[in-house]
Amino acid sequence: MTIQSEGRASALPGWLFKLGKLTATVAFTLFGLLLVTFLIGRVVPVDPVLSVVGDRASPSTYEKVYLELGLDRPLYEQFYLYAKKAVTGDFGESLLTKKPIISDLARAFPATLELATVGIIIGTLLGIPAGVWAAVRQGRLIDQLVRIFGLVGYSAPIFWLGLMGLLLFYAKWELVAGPGRIDISYEYSFTSTTGLMLLDTAMQGQWAAFRNVVSHIALPACLLGYLSMAYIARMTRSFMLNELAQEYVVTARVKGVAEWRIIWVHALRNAAVPLVTVIALSYANLLEGSVLTETVFAWPGLGQYLTNSLQNADMNAVLGGTLLIGIVFVGLNIFSDLLYTLLDPRVRTRL
């Protein structure tokens, strides 16, 4: 056996251990998520039986549904049945739509995914350059402007920004379309295959509908992009200030390396490692935290679905949506860890 093959053989158990550790962590996290959502459903002051039969049902009907829901069984057995159904995607039927909750989530989540994706793209493309220039020009005018711009993004209520945006860009200047995802005149001009209207209309060549979808998504996506840009720019500035103070930057300048190369190649490459986690978490926050934005813009996404479910005491739908959001967070954290490994050679050498 050669030295190279021996090295591969010795590295294999390490990879298997890391894979097993990652699998166990994900499984434990999802188990905890299931347990928390189950307990939320039992702690909230909402009677699940009354949510099904109504407050005018007879005692016999109440008792029948109570037994059908398994509420007479021990708590651990109820959790087992809940987890067993949840693993197969069975969250029950929505009281509001009278449809399986999994189908409601499959309809609502792509709308949120599309809005959050466009928002994070805008926030990343604008936030990273703004943060870099703020760090390079520390204490100067552009640094102050970026910090003030970010402070406004943190401080201003998102619903107020949304209402002001609708008042100016839609009602007064008529630059964008109003609330909703698409005008009804274009709604049936294409077939929804992915649930992402920008993608569906573009793939099917329905460019008039595509422009209408862009006009609808532009304002809420820019609003979410502004919020994520404020956070990404601030973190980029902090990471870049730390990198520009390192000895390798001083050495590169002494050797006569071009300043733009020091900033955009060497320093930004090292700052990109923690930035991956920042962008991933910002994306996750947009996916689960756009409730007010979707409400203001009548966007038929997950946030609006959860809001309507809460207002109508549809706890099965609320728990199903909460579990979906938790799975998204876990998935994005794993994805950011994998990217972190690819970007940082020091992490790869420790695996």
pLDDT, average across residues 303-327: 83
Q: Give the model's pLDDT for residue 121.
A: 95
Amino acid at 118: V
- Residues 219-238 pLDDT 10s: 999 999 999 999 999 999 99
If you average pLDDT over every residue of the chain, what do you get?
84
Please state, in angstroms and rounded to a whole number, the distance separating the CA atoms of residues 49 and 71: 9
Amino acid identity for residue 232 in this structure: I
141-155 and 207-244 helices cross at what angle (nearest 10)? 120
Question: Taking each helix axis from N to C terminus, what angle separates 302-311 and 315-343, rounded to the nearest 10 degrees?
Answer: 150
Query: Which distant-in-sequence residues (6+ apart) come within 8 Å of 44 by Cβ?
Result: 315
Helix (H, G, I), strand (E, B) or coil at 100: strand
Average pLDDT over residues 322-346: 78
Alpha-carbon distance 165 to 187, whole Å?
A: 24
Measure the CA–CA gap between 23 and 337, rounded to whole angstroms. 13
User: What pLDDT score was predicted for residue 242?
Assistant: 93
Res. 18: pLDDT tops 50? yes
Q: Three-state SS for 185? A: coil
Evaluate the CA torsion angle 110, 116, 120, 123 in order and state its sign.
positive
Q: Cα-flanking dihedrals φ and ψ of residue 131, to 5°? A: -65, -40
- Identity at 182, one-letter amino acid code: I
Q: Which of 22-26, 51-55, 207-211 has the lowest mean pLDDT?
A: 51-55
Distance CA 36, CA 31 (A): 9
Residues of the chain above pLDDT 70, percent: 92
Question: pLDDT category, 9, cuts 50, 70, 90?
Answer: very low
The distance of Cα 99 from the centroid of its chain, to the nearest Å, equals 25
Q: What is the pLDDT of residues 154-196, one digit of tens each?
A: 788 888 889 999 999 999 998 999 899 999 999 888 998 999 9
Instruction: List CB contacts of 265: < 8 A, sequence separation 6 or more.
Output: none
> Lowest mean pLDDT: which of 5-19, 24-38, 93-107, 287-301?
5-19
pLDDT score for 126: 94
**Which carries the bigger pLDDT value, residue 209 or residue 287?**
209
d(CA 55, CA 45): 15
Six-digit token string for 106: 């499959």
CA distance 268 to 272: 6
- Report residue 199 as tokens: 């993608």
Going by C-alpha positions, the residue among 326, 344, 347 that lies closest to residue 269 is 344
Helices (H) and strands (E) in the chain, counts: 16, 0
CB atoms within 10 A of CB 204: 15
pLDDT per position as a tens digit, 41-89: 777 777 777 777 777 778 888 888 788 777 788 888 888 888 888 888 8
The percent of residues in the chain predicted with pLDDT above 90, rounded, is 34
Count Cβ atoms below 10 Å from residue 201 Cβ, excluding itself: 24
Amino acid (1-letter code) at residue 294: E
C-alpha count within 13 angstroms, C-beta hemisphere, residue 163:
7
Question: What's the CA gap between 212 and 264, in Å, rounded?
Answer: 37
Q: For residue 52, how many other CB atoms are within 10 A of its CB?
A: 18
Average pLDDT over residues 286-302: 84
Listed residue (222, 125, 127) closest to 170, CA to CA:
222
Q: Quick one: tokens of 120? A: 């994070």
325 φ/ψ angles, rounded to the nearest 5 degrees:
-60, -40
- 136-160 per-position pLDDT tens digit: 998 899 999 998 988 888 788 888 8
Whole-angstrom distance, CA of residue 236 vs CA of residue 135:
8
